Amino acid sequence: MENFTPVSALIGGGLIGLASGLYLLLNGRIAGISGILGGLLTPTKGGSAVFERLAFVIGLVVGPFILMNATEIAAQSVVTSSLPVIIVAGLLVGLGTTIGSGCTSGHGICGLSRFSLRSLVATLSFMAAGFVTVLVTRHLMGGM
C-alpha cells in the first residue's frame, strides 16, 4: 500500500464535504457535478441558474489551478488509456450519470449525507461496476 495517502485524503475529502454542505446551506442546491454540468446543456427558463452552475464549474478548474501555481502542493492527473477507451469511457460516464441521476458527488457525498437509500443503491451500483471493470481490464485482460 505504498500509494496510500490517508491524511491528504481526509483533508481533501473534508474540503469536498464542506463545499457540498455550504452549497446546500447557502444556495439550497445539491452539489452534484454531473447534474450541475448536465443542467448547463439543457438550461431551463429563468436564467440565473445557468450562471450559478457555470460559476461552480469554473471554480472546479480554478481551485486546482491556484494550488498548482501558488503553492508547493504537488498533484498529477495521469491517463494511461488509449484514445478509443478514453472516448468510450467519457460517453459511458456522461450517459450513465444522466440515466442514473448522479455521480460520485451527487449520490456518493450529498445523497449519503441526506441518508438517501436511493443514493446508496446508486453508489453501490457504480462502485460495483468500477470494481468489476478494473478486475477485467487489469487482471483478466492485462491492462488496457
Partner 1 sequence: MRTIVSLICGTIFGFGLYISGMIDPQKVLGFLDIWAIADGGWDPSLAFVMGGGLAVAIPIFQFAKNRTEAVCGGEMSLPNNRAITTKLIAGGLLFGTGWGLVGYCPGPALSALAFGHTDTIIFVVAMIVGMGGARAVGLNK
61 is a site residue for partner 1 (CB under 8 A): yes
43 is a site residue for partner 1 (CB under 8 A): no
Taking the complex as a whole, the smallest distance from the CB of residue 45 to partner 1 amounts, in Å, to 16
125 is a site residue for partner 1 (CB under 8 A): yes
Could you say which residues in the range 68-107 bind partner 1, by CB under 8 A?
68, 73, 75-81, 83, 85-101, 103-105, 107
13 is a site residue for partner 1 (CB under 8 A): yes
44 is a site residue for partner 1 (CB under 8 A): no
Rounded to whole angstroms, the Cα distance separating 69 from 75 reads 11
Task: Pull the grid cell for residue 63.
Answer: 481551485
Question: Quick check: 39 and 33 in contact, CB under 8 A?
Answer: no
DSSP category for residue 114 = T
Which single residue is written with the C-alpha cell 492527473?
A: 77
